[in-house]
Structure 1
Amino acid sequence: MVWSGKDVNDEVKWLSKGTNRIIKRYNAFLINGYRFHTKYREKMRRTQNCGIVVNSSITSYASARDSNPVEGNVEYYGFLTDIIELDYYGKWKVFLFRCD
């Protein structure tokens, strides 16, 4: 099957171009009133703000034979080590948080 440009929406076209080759890295980032700092930035500071927690909803089973899934939350803790900005040519920007 051959797709014409009319069949593919604009968002898919932008994503297919990939990211701009210029990638920015940050030691600090402010979004929605929350401030994030990398562990490196806070190495010699008195106060620390590089801790990260991610709450994830999961489904698990007691064993391979179990057919009754159990829903639960798992929290992952770590330190923010890098903040990377991917720019999709001005259409979108995606920020990646790398954590240990």
Structure 2
Amino acid sequence: MDEIKANFNPIPVTILKNNRVKISIADHGKEMSEEVKAKIFGRLFTTKAVGKGTGLGLAIARQIVVEKHGGSIQVNSILGEGTKFIITLPKEA
């Protein structure tokens, strides 16, 4: 538990002037190709080996954020820098 506390980095949340909330989640791992970025929210799309993933995680996340809450998800992936997801939601749902 102490290891988790020592390495805890809160996810940045910003309240925007247009009464929306912005959440940014980034990593410095492997970036995505343009081909993968174009398909990432597609139902059943996965980059994992057969039997290792369902391809539903980001499709469901998009459905919840966009369709259920009227928000948006933006993906920025830069070669050598990693990937950032920016989720914007209405402050009041």
| Larger strand fraction of residues | 1
Which protein, 1 or 2, shows the higher relative CO under an 8 Å CA cutoff with sep ≥ 6? 2
State the structure with more CA Rg.
1
| Larger helix fraction of residues | 2
* TM-score greater than 0.5 by the shorter chain: no
Question: Shorter chain as normaliser: what TM range?
Answer: under 0.3
TM-score by length of 2: 0.27
TM-score by length of 1: 0.26
